[in-house]
Structure 1
Amino acid sequence: MAAEAEVDDAAPAKKGIPKLFIIIGAAALVVVLAGAGLFVFLSSSSAPTEEGAAEHGGDAAAAAAGHTFIFNLPPMIVNLNNEEQAGAFMKLTVALEVANEEMMVEIQPRMAKVVDAFQVYLRELRRSDLEGSAGVYRLKEELLRRVNVAIYPSRVESILFKEILVQ
């Protein structure tokens, strides 16, 4: 009878093992299907086709072609707001990236507004505001916001730094 009890105890353990394999297999199948779905989703949205560009208009076609125009601004030298040191300044040369040539023509008469917006903002910066890549990134984002406000309804795609010198 003791031998029969041992056999009965071992039987439930054998039934539990296939259930474990089924659960692991189902989880692996879900992960593989989710990965495949994510791959299809990302590959279809990141590479627009010519038909997709035609459906979304000329802006998508221009973006897909990668044609942008660069509008160079004159170098700017500004005093920084630095109370502990007198004479801290920054020399900055930037270029504006625009989508097409017509945008360059629209921006030209408003350049005085852009330079003014830049000068007002840059004079309030401290040397510590420009430290590290995070400081330069914040500067770039703020200049982009200010130029787009100054030239509204026209729009600049990005700001390109050609020279940054802080002393």
Structure 2
Amino acid sequence: MSKADKDSGAGAAGEGGEAPAPAPNKKKKLMLFGAIGAVLLLGGGGGAYMLLGSSGKTPAQEEAAAEASAKEGGGAGEKGGEKEGEKGKEAAHFVDVPAMVVNLRSADGASRFLKLHFVLVPGDKGNPEAITAKLPLLLDAYQPFLRELRPDDLAGSAAVYRVKEEMLVRAHQTLGDGAVKDVLIQDLIQQ
């Protein structure tokens, strides 16, 4: 086909109404990309607001927490500075345990390691000083359990929950019931 035939074919297509058809497709694509961009922008902005701007609690939850802290602290006669001091004390109640590195059992004999960093939350019958004093006993109770884990035991989303629950059981056995309320796992790295 010669250049003249192509030009005449293009003119005929323009007169026949076939050439304007791609223009609406381009408009649809442009609108689609614009809509996708707007959704991503709004989603990113909403996510940033939730992450940085809000406490993550509904107003009813915040109100219930305020009432509970007022009941614990002695009522409405407290000053704002005293309440902030209590919050600082609550943050000091956590017992940060240094990171542990243990060997994992593997069926193929390959070297596998687990690095675990966690924080203990004292319960009603425990205080941070007593837990810190008995920390070597607690770590000794954790060692056999962690060394018996296999890489397959750490696979999946429920693995952290199972490890956390077993650590809490061993904390209750070692330190007594009520001494530790929760185990907060900060890092769980398998190599």
Fold equivalence (TM over 0.5):
yes
1:116 pairs with one of 123, 133, 140: 140
The correspondence of residues 1-167 of structure 1 with structure 2, limited to 5 A, is 67=90, 69-99=93-123, 103-167=127-191
2: CA distance, partners of 1:136 / 1:72: 18
4+ aligned runs moved over 4 Å, structure 1: 46-54
TM-score (normalised: structure 1): 0.58
1: CA distance, partners of 2:173 / 2:133: 15
Shift of residue 161, structure 1, vs aligned partner? 1.2
1: CA distance, partners of 2:151 / 2:184: 20
2:135 aligned partner, one-letter code: M
1:152 aligned partner, one-letter code: G
1:88 aligned partner, one-letter code: R
Shift of residue 149, structure 1, vs aligned partner? 1.1
Name the Cα RMSD after superposition.
3.0
Shift of residue 51, structure 1, vs aligned partner? 6.1
- Structure 1: gaps of 5 or more residues: 1-42, 55-64
| Alpha carbons 2:95, 2:132 under 8 Å: kept | no
- Structure 2: gaps of 5 or more residues: 1-60, 75-85
